[in-house]
């Protein structure tokens, strides 16, 4: 469906990285974009640059997102907000698990619950869920992150079934490593994480993900781009590790 058939969009995790790039792209397409993030200062800067409507709000604040969803009938929903805590389940703590479930999954479920029925009633809309290659492939650590992103992936498929017969499309975007500041949020020390995860690599930029989302939204109404895996050309997921049993300690 052409962008001209949509009027409003809601983007979460909008203060930086992929979220900010999506806001900027959708604003350029003529949509009234509502941007959600916790950082009021960064949102104000984004609003000044793009003309978006900022909402300093935590996506885990169900009452807050409920008020917003009741105020505006959104045609496009981009569930981008996400957090991570490195480490396997062997070293996980209660706070970390609850945080990832609240932000990465519970908020996505609630936003779909609040926004998608209106799309179905209007027979018009597009849901974009940004998951991760971590939802499909296993690699060391980050067990809770893998679990929440796998849930978002399955939710994206299930939404297509829930919306069968309606002109409401669902796109799951699965990024690999992208040149954003998420690594600093996860590991701390932005200079060190930049050197470790970004510097010297050929990586997709946040704008590349935003352009992919715009491509899916701009497709003809008869076309649903359901799944896009976007990774660096020089990155591959997967691998195989084998080890011997540990020797019994005397």
pTM beyond cutoff 0.75: yes
pLDDT at res. 2: 73
Contacts of 152 (CB under 8 A, 6+ apart): 79, 104, 105, 108, 129, 131, 135, 172
How far apart are alpha carbons 10 and 42 in whole angstroms?
17
Which of these is catalytic: 6, 137, 145, 194? 145
How far apart are alpha carbons 195 and 112 in whole angstroms?
37
pLDDT at res. 184: 52
Tokens of 10: 């809601």
Other CB atoms closer than 10 Å to residue 63's CB: what's the count?
7
Q: Annotated catalytic, 137? A: no
pLDDT at res. 181: 73
Domain residue ranges in the chain: 3-230
Angstrom CA distances, 189 to 85, 176, 185, stand at: 15, 21, 8
CATH tag for 3-230 (out of 3.20.20.80, 3.30.70.2190, 3.40.50.720, 1.10.357.10): 3.40.50.720
Residue 99 — pLDDT band, cuts 50, 70, 90? very high
Please, are residues 177 and 231 in contact by the beta-carbon 8 Å criterion? yes
> What are the pLDDT digits (tens) for 179-216?
987 665 555 556 777 787 788 999 999 999 999 999 99
> What are the pLDDT digits (tens) for 147-163?
999 999 999 999 999 99
């Amino acid at each position: 469906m052409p962008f001209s058939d949509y009027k409003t969009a809601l983007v979460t995790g909008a203060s930086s990285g992929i979220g900010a790039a999506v806001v900027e792209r959708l604003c350029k397409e003529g949509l009234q974009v509502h941007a959600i993030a916790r950082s009021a200062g960064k949102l104000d800067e984004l609003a000044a640059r793009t003309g978006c409507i900022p909402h300093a709000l935590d996506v885990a604040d169900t009452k807050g997102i409920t008020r917003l969803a009741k105020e505006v009938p959104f045609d496009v929903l981009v569930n981008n907000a996400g957090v991570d805590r490195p480490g396997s389940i062997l070293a996980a703590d209660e706070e970390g698990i609850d945080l990832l479930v609240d932000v990465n999954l519970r908020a996505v479920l609630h936003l779909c619950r609040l926004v998608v029925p209106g799309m179905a009633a209007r027979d018009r809309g597009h849901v974009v869920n940004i998951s991760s290659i971590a939802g499909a492939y296993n690699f060391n650590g980050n067990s809770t992150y893998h679990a929440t992103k796998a849930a978002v992936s399955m939710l994206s498929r299930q939404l297509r079934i829930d919306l069968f017969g309606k002109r409401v499309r669902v796109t799951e975007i699965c990024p690999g490593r992208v040149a954003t500041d998420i690594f600093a949020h996860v590991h701390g020390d932005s200079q060190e994480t930049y050197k470790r995860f970004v510097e010297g690599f050929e990586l997709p930029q946040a704008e590349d993900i935003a352009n992919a989302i715009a491509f899916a939204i701009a497709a003809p109404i008869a076309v649903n781009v359901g799944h896009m895996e976007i990774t660096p050309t020089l990155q591959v997921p997967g691998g195989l590790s084998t080890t011997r049993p540990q020797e019994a300690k005397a």
